[in-house]
Structure 1
Amino acid sequence: MVAGRNVLRALRDIRSFRVVVLHPADAESDELVAQIRRIGCRVELIWPPRDGIPDSTDIAFLLFRQDALTDAILRSLEDRPLAVTLIAIVEAESPTVIEAVVRSGASAVITKPIRAFGLLTSMVLAHKFSTGKLISAEKMSRLQTRLSGARVLEQAKAIVMSQRGVTEPEAYALIRERAMANRSSIEAICASIVSTGDVPGR
């Protein structure tokens, strides 16, 4: 039941997405744009993509070719927001193209000739996969921040223990006292101690 509700929500949400198609203007790109529009998304065909992907883009379809333009687009995509879901359009399964698709971090692949069948499923699954990567990256960032803070705290306590000749609990209590007195965070006080090698406010 929960899974069914999640699928219905994903299908409903995807209709509010902004989609960009990076593909030369031809009959196939016209058909792809028309199919995406029928799904209910706002869609724009951009070629050549001189300024990269617009910031408000949710899903981007990109044609992968063995040419300099594709390489240039991929370089511009390296700094794109992780929230953008990239779907690769492939017309030839050469090792070079496959390597480029893997390197790009594309969340799904559709092949040419482009067909309407399966397009909505590909978009939903790709966005879900991309969102999962974003959540994982955010969790990893928070974990790294906590680990970094813990290391700085240990360094600060060691400095206080060495300077004051106190125990570890006493060093932590002193750091906490300084933070309260300075109306600052423990993290900020620890960073100051590690940076200056001294306990502030004494």
Structure 2
Amino acid sequence: MRETPNFTGWRVTILHREDGNTERLTRQLRLLGLQTKLQWSTLSAAELPDLVIVDADQGWDNLLPWNGGTPNCPVVALLGSEAPGRIAWAMEQGAGSIIAKPIAASAVYPALVMAVSIHQERKAFAQRLQYLEERVRLRPLVHAAVEKLMVARAIDEDRAYAILRDCAMKRRLPMEQIAAFILGGAEPLPEAG
């Protein structure tokens, strides 16, 4: 993320018991333009806000709908303890930043920006990983198409691969898709050239 987000209109759920910290936090969030909701119960997956702020000192498993999985929105942990177990719990919940208790107004905005940035990076990484895994899963198609070209054109593997690659580049399609077309008979065997 290159620019800091404008939080005006964002919905944030604060999972914390009401106290002086939540009053300061709510006041600062409202100054930043966020719509706040304070609750101390399990967050529903059906009503996810744009941002979650969770009490890592008192939080429990299943408090958040992703329960240790990839969070569906940016997460900020509120932490007044240095207990390694509480820090680990916050990390397991996907916290992208921490606001120390007692809450200082100046700590809120940087923590929100960091949590949003880290959440966006995690999403981009997950999408890239999914794309690469799909390409790896389809590599046997490419290998089979190369073998088909080798037999049909009586050429070596390097030349067959180059022909397949050139065909994909000319059509502006992934090699895996061209290979599937060739193997399925939807695409004639490309000519060497």
Aligned to 1:18: 11
- The equivalent position to 2:92 in structure 1, one of 103, 112, 129, is 103
In 1, are the aligned partners of 2:57 and 2:78 still within 8 Å (CA)?
no
Corresponding letter in the other structure for 2:96: S
Q: Which has the higher helix share?
A: 1
What is the rounded CA distance, in whole Å, between the counterparts of 2:70 and 2:127 in structure 1?
A: 16
In 2, are the aligned partners of 1:62 and 1:89 still within 8 Å (CA)?
yes
What is the rounded CA distance, in whole Å, between the counterparts of 1:199 and 1:116 in structure 2?
A: 62
User: What is the Cα deviation at residue 124 of structure 1?
Assistant: 1.4
1:152–1:16 CA distance, 2 compared to 1 (3 A): farther
Secondary structure in structure 1 of the residue aligned to 2:31: helix
Aligned to 2:37: 44
- The equivalent position to 1:35 in structure 2, one of 16, 24, 28, is 28
What is the rounded CA distance, in whole Å, between the counterparts of 1:127 and 1:160 in structure 2?
A: 48
In 1, are the aligned partners of 2:149 and 2:160 still within 8 Å (CA)?
no
Aligned length: 179
Aligned to 2:121: 132
Q: Please say if 1:94 is aligned against 2:94.
A: no
CA deviations 1:169-199 (Å, max 9, x no partner) are 568869x7xxx9xxxx864574588xxxx75
Which ranges in structure 2 are unaligned for 5 or more consecutive residues?
A: 189-193
Aligned to 1:72: 62
1:142–1:111 CA distance, 2 compared to 1 (3 A): same
In 2, are the aligned partners of 1:90 and 1:112 still within 8 Å (CA)?
yes
1:24–1:15 CA distance, 2 compared to 1 (3 A): same
- The equivalent position to 2:147 in structure 1, one of 148, 158, 170, is 158
Corresponding letter in the other structure for 1:58: D
User: What is the Cα deviation at residue 34 of structure 1?
Assistant: 2.0
Q: Percent identity?
A: 22
Q: Structure 1 length normalisation: TM-score? A: 0.68
1:63–1:42 CA distance, 2 compared to 1 (3 A): same
In 1, are the aligned partners of 2:70 and 2:94 still within 8 Å (CA)?
no
- The equivalent position to 1:116 in structure 2, one of 105, 123, 128, is 105
Q: Alpha carbon RMSD of aligned pairs, Å? A: 3.5
What is the rounded CA distance, in whole Å, between the counterparts of 2:128 and 2:161 in structure 1?
A: 30
User: What is the Cα deviation at residue 33 of structure 1?
Assistant: 1.6
Secondary structure in structure 2 of the residue aligned to 1:21: strand
In 2, are the aligned partners of 1:157 and 1:172 still within 8 Å (CA)?
no
